[in-house]
A and B are shown apart, each in its own frame.
Chain A
Amino acid sequence: MSDYIKDAIITGVWETFVMTFFASLFSYIIGMPLGVLLYSTSRGRLLENRPVNFVLGAIINIARSLPFLILLVLLIPFTRFLVGQSIGTTAAIVPLTIGAIPIVARMVESSLNEVQPGIIEAASSMGASPLYTIIHFIIPEATPSLLQGGAINVATVLGYSAMAGVIGGGGLGAIALQYGYYRYQKDVLWTTVTLLIIMVMLIQEIGIWMSKKHRKT
């Protein structure tokens, strides 16, 4: 492997890391409140609201069933409008974020669903408002599960970031594709794949470790 490719791989690792980090961050900033809204407007919950829940659920389901590769292409105009360009690492963060939002929302919803109804009843009996109950009772109680879900989400975003390579998103995915696949450089292909696997494993382990650290039961 030439030094040129080695440098490219190192840059690739960094780009993958940047894309994964920011896309995960932004997808949580938007997806977490959506997940909370999905949870709390569903039947029998604190802010039960069938129309809101139905519409939000439908949008999320549609967004989630779009193949990510299609989403990447569909979002090109939007990305250009938002960040002024449609190729490169920064540009890739946009479709990655949007692709991850529905997944994050569903994951958050399912973590919150695990919280024992008794705890919510206790909060209500103390005169806590719905918002207070969500912030101070439900989310703390769901934290270990949220962290575990977080690890799964970040790993998914990492996987998606490799796909962003197809539309010039940079990162390890692009290197695997350009050097490994199109130029038949098997060693480059396997190196990048191995690096991706290591990154996913690291994320998963960190997630499990954090979740365990938080779990007091």
Chain B
Amino acid sequence: MENVFELQNVYKTYKNDGKEFTALKDVSLTIEEGEIFGIIGMSGAGKSTLVRTLNRLEEISSGSVSFYGRNLAELKPKELREVRHSISMIFQGFNLINQRTVIQNVEQSLKIIGTPRAQRREKARQMLEIVGLLDKANQYPARLSGGQKQRVAIARALAADPKVLLCDEATSALDPKITGEILDLLKKINEERKLTIVIITHEMSVVEKICDRVAIIDDGNLAEIGDVKEVFSNPQSKAAKKLVFPANPFDPSGDSRSLVRIVFDGTQSNVPFIANLVEKTGLKVNILSANTKSVGGIGYGQMILELPSSERERRTVIDFFKDGGLAVSEVTINE
């Protein structure tokens, strides 16, 4: 598969009032065509800087970033603008022009690439249809909800047929339900248009839900990179463990531990799963760690459970959770 982005030994140092701050330290990674690539890290870890090096909104201090083999640093301003037509971006704050209607906003990206007026209108309408907002075409952004604004931003970003979509904390300002809808939309677009998507987030659930591969950024370093399932079920780096195991999970004494992580994505929060499990199967689990927060009245979080030691009982428990629609993954703690 072709590499869309290739980063080699990227450093980024900011100088502010004589003080130096290194936001990215020796980051090397590749992003492949057609994948949904997640970049996760705590706030201030450098992930927003990292994504901005991909379209050169942020100049790097050393190393190289190339897009389909072209070194971005070598591009002249005009060439860079042309390359940016292929690299769209959406933001946490949506960044729509508030004084222009929804459809005028979507048309902007087409106007920039010089699409004639009539085609522009037509294409913008198609894009609004894809994101399900054709009926809001002549409204102003202020009248829309956060989720709708992000949909408009997605329509605007995709109208010029880019090769890549960069998402900078695109769902962080949205509640879990709307986040889910936006992620479903991104997934659909990824599949239908073979669009490469790079997602920056601090939320585990976002990566878990749609990403194929993930890079974990910690204090400007690339702590870990790999397939989402692998990284989440068997995290190697300290940073990854901190993300995967929300609190410090209680370490039970036995060695033959079988741990699973179950994730609530907000839709099943009213169901007392553990109580139901005991009632229906008679099997018991040990809760090692639980992190359930309520956002907009919707429970949202994850749990790490120690399962019974017998293989058969373990299966029963896992199947029980899976049947209930929860995401279950086996995990190991190697501290």
Which residues from chain A sit less than 8 Å from chain B, CB to CB? 116, 118-119, 121-129, 132, 136-137, 140-141, 143-144, 214-217
Contact = CB atoms under 8 A, between A and B. Distances in A.
A125 B108 contact: no
Contact of A126 (B98, B99, B108, B140): B108
B84 A127 contact: yes
Interface string B81-97: 11111011101010111
A217 B142 CA distance: 5
B99 A140 contact: yes
A136 B160 CA distance: 17
B112 A125 contact: no
Most buried by A among B95, B100, B141: B95
Nearest to B109: A126
A43 to B, nearest CB: 13
Contacts of B278: none
B247 interface: no
Nearest to B166: A125
26 contacts: A116-B95, A118-B93, A118-B95, A119-B97, A122-B89, A122-B91, A122-B153, A123-B108, A124-B57, A124-B84, A126-B89, A127-B83, A127-B84, A127-B113, A128-B112, A129-B81, A136-B108, A137-B108, A140-B97, A140-B99, A143-B99, A214-B99, A217-B98, A217-B140, A217-B141, A217-B142
Contacts of B153: 122
Given A119-B95, A127-B83, A217-B140, 13 more contacts: A121-B57, A123-B108, A125-B89, A126-B84, A126-B109, A126-B112, A126-B157, A126-B160, A128-B112, A136-B108, A137-B97, A140-B97, A141-B99
Nearest to A216: B140
A103 to B, nearest CB: 24
B98 A125 contact: no
Contacts of A217: 98-99, 140-142
B95 A127 contact: no
Decide if the interface of chain B is mainly helix, strand, loop or mixed: mixed
B117 interface: no
Contacts of B98: 141, 216-217
Nearest to A144: B99
A51 to B, nearest CB: 20
Contacts of B201: none
A121 B91 contact: yes
Interface string B103-129: 000001101110000000000000000
A119 B108 CA distance: 12
A121 B93 CA distance: 11
Interface of B: 55, 57, 80-85, 87-89, 91, 93, 95-100, 108-109, 111-113, 140-142, 153, 156-157, 160, 166
Contact of B82 (A119, A127, A143): A127
Given A119-B95, A121-B95, A127-B84, A132 B89 contact: no
Contacts of A214: 99
A141 B97 contact: yes
A125 B88 contact: yes
A129 B111 CA distance: 12
A127 B99 CA distance: 21
B85 A127 contact: yes
Nearest to B153: A122
Contacts of B88: 125-126
A137 B111 CA distance: 12
Contacts of B108: 123, 126, 136-137
A128 B55 CA distance: 13
A128 to B, nearest CB: 5
Given A122-B95, A144-B99, A214-B99, A136 B111 contact: yes
A216 B100 CA distance: 8
Most buried by A among B82, B93, B98, B142: B98
Contacts of B81: 127-129
Contacts of A127: 80-85, 112-113
Contacts of B85: 126-127
Contacts of A141: 97-99
A140 B160 contact: no
Cβ-closest 7 pairs across A and B:
A127-B84, A122-B95, A216-B140, A125-B89, A127-B81, A118-B95, A217-B142
A123 B109 CA distance: 8
A136 B100 CA distance: 10
A176 B178 CA distance: 65
Contacts of B166: 125
A22 B109 CA distance: 38
A217 B139 CA distance: 11
